[in-house]
Homo-oligomer: A and B are copies of this chain.
Amino acid sequence: MNNKISKNSIRRLIRYRTVLQRFQNMGLGKVFSDNLAEALDIKASQVRKDFSLFNLTGNKRGGYVIGDLLEKITNIIGKNRTYNTIIIGAGNLGKALLQYTGFEKEDIKIKAAFDIDPAETHKQYSTPVLPMENLHSFIQENDIEIAILTTPALAAQRVMDLLVKANIKGVLNFAPIRLKAPKEIFINNVNLLQELENIIFFIKEKKEKIAVI
């Protein structure tokens, strides 16, 4: 991997895998860059460019062997082992993610949730909801690498600081705030309100265009 790899090519790599798995389930054995391009709505040359970036090779004229591709991509993205995660903030979103089953089969294990509210920590779920005091030791003792942050914005930075101290490696942040952290820690932000506002802009835009024409 001598070339610079952009965030976008990683995102696409993850999507290639999803599509390839679907193809494999459909009983296919091979694909051409064409097929993948169509599935992701991009150009075939983009697919080949990405593949060459990651040293994913095929056969001239014969396309790519799906099984091989999947194995290599999984090696690159890193899903041949389990990743332990925790959720911080057992509000609506936190609890929803706690019950979400889509992560399990991908070897992402949610080991616990944390909340300041004792009312939450006293209830019994299949995954424990623990008080914040236990956060540091739990991360240490259970090999937690990733934290999912679903606290209110106001609490988020404070929690982030605790996570930094506990040597977390990555954070999926749902709190609508930019977190400050050392750059070794990878932070991925998801802002649902912003995504909705994005839609609003585009459906509003349309209206204006119609008005103008």
Which A residues are closer than 8 A to B by beta carbons? 7, 10-11, 13-15, 18, 39-41, 76-79, 83, 85, 92-93, 95-97, 99-100, 102-103, 106, 108, 145-146, 148, 169-172, 176, 178, 184, 186, 188, 190, 192-204, 206
Contact = CB atoms under 8 A, between A and B. Distances in A.
Interface of A is mostly: helix
A203 B14 contact: no
Given A170-B200, A172-B195, A196-B172, A100 B92 contact: yes
Given A18-B176, A171-B199, 14 more contacts: A7-B198, A10-B198, A10-B202, A78-B201, A92-B99, A97-B192, A146-B199, A148-B196, A169-B203, A186-B199, A186-B203, A186-B206, A188-B196, A188-B199
Contacts of A18: 176
A79 B198 CA distance: 11
| Copies of this chain in its oligomeric complex | 2
Contact of A172 (B15, B39, B100, B199): B199
A73 B79 CA distance: 42
Contacts of A78: 200-201, 204
Contacts of A79: 197, 200
A206 to B, nearest CB: 7
